[in-house]
Amino acid sequence: RRYSIPVERLQRFNPDVNPQRLLVGQQLLIPLQQERAPSAGPYRYQIRAGDTFAGIARHFGARTQDLINANPGVTPTALRIGQLVNVPLSGAANRPQPTSNNTTASRPPPTGNLPTSARRWPWPLDDYRIVRRFGPDERGTLQPMLLATQAGAQATAVASGDVRFAGSMRQLGQVVIVHHPDNLQSVYALCSELLVEEDTQVARGDALCEVGLNRNGRHDLLFDLRQGGNPIDPRRVLK
């Protein structure tokens, strides 16, 4: 509604995003006026700053060579901002999108196999106590894990990655979101002070934020793990 864009059109330009499992700070591609996304394809895409054929192909689940073949008059190494290119449909771009369902958000997350990279990650705190486990509450709403710790404790990155968000969020205090390989994301919230900036890279164990003090006089870290926006029980990944 904010951009006056139909939901179906927005979904077609973001084929790997589950609208029922959006991640705080997750970036979406907002289609422009001249762009088209017919159900049978091909899509018409307008080049943005930093675009490459390989990146466009990855986003829409297409093959780079197919993209090159669909644009015979375009030089892949000399793309111009505002230039229109055709994106042939294949793979993820042609998948049916999930439909809205009021009960979806309360269902348990999938318990399938995780990528091999998501194994034996360290916990985000050296000294902690689990005060709320990951899982649905009494109303069936899925809740992230809550860890209690000591004053002055710093949350650290559970794996190397890119800081996609570092800032304040309503009711969550200072928040850091790190994107990792294999479409994995880790979220660190209820912080009082940020120790990293957006668009920077961090290594496993790097300090991200200082844990804040809650209304009950306890220092809590809200910690969340996701893959492609889908929540994961951290105990499946952390050692």
Q: Both 80 and 187 in a single domain?
A: no
Domain that holds residue 11: 7-94
pLDDT in tens, 44-93: 899 988 888 888 888 888 888 888 889 988 888 888 888 999 998 764 33
Q: What percent of the chain has pLDDT over 90?
A: 39
**Paired sense of beta strands 201-202 and 161-169, if any:** antiparallel
In a domain, 1, yes or no: no
- How open is the CA angle 212-214-218, to the nearest 5 degrees? 90
Q: For residue 23, tell me if it sits in a domain.
A: yes
Cβ atoms of residues 212 and 219 within 8 Å: yes
CATH classification of the domain holding 138? 2.70.70.10
Evaluate the CA torsion angle 147, 148, 150, 151 in order and state its sign. positive
Instruction: Tell me whether residue 110 is in a domain.
Output: no
Both 147 and 75 in one domain: the answer is: no
Query: What is the pLDDT at residue 23?
Result: 65
Residues 160 and 81 reside in one and the same domain: no
Q: Is residue 128 part of a domain?
A: yes
Do 124 and 229 have their domain in common?
Answer: yes
Do 88 and 131 lie in one domain? The reply is no
Q: What is the mean pLDDT of residues 192-214?
A: 95
Contact 41, 62 (CB under 8 A): no
Structure confidence at residue 107 (pLDDT): 42
What's the whole-model pTM score? 0.57
More confident residue, 41 or 220: 220
- 86 and 129: one domain? no
Residue 109, in any domain of the structure: no
Q: Are residues 151 and 83 in the same domain?
A: no
Assess whether 79 and 148 both reside in one domain.
no
Q: Give Cα separations from 186 to 120, 169, 177, 178, 220 (angstroms).
A: 14, 16, 6, 5, 16
Percent of the chain with pLDDT over 70: 85
Q: Which of 61, 94, 127 is the last residue of a domain?
A: 94
182 and 135 within one domain: yes
Q: Specify if 62 maps to a domain.
A: yes
Write down the pLDDT at residue 94.
41
CA angle 125, 128, 133 (to 5 degrees): 105
Mean pLDDT check: name the lowest of 126-135, 167-176, 200-209.
167-176
Per the prediction, the chain carries an average pLDDT of: 83
Residue 99 lies in a domain: no
Whether residue 137 sits in one domain with residue 87: no
Name the domain count of the chain: 2
Give the mean pLDDT of 209-221. Answer: 92
Same domain assignment for residues 228 and 125: yes
Across 170-198, average pLDDT = 92
Which CATH number belongs to the domain containing residue 69 in this structure? 3.10.350.10
- Name the most confidently modeled range: 98-107, 166-175, 219-228: 219-228
Select from 78, 94, 110 the last residue of a domain: 94
In this structure, the answer to whether residues 170 and 80 fall within a common structural domain is no
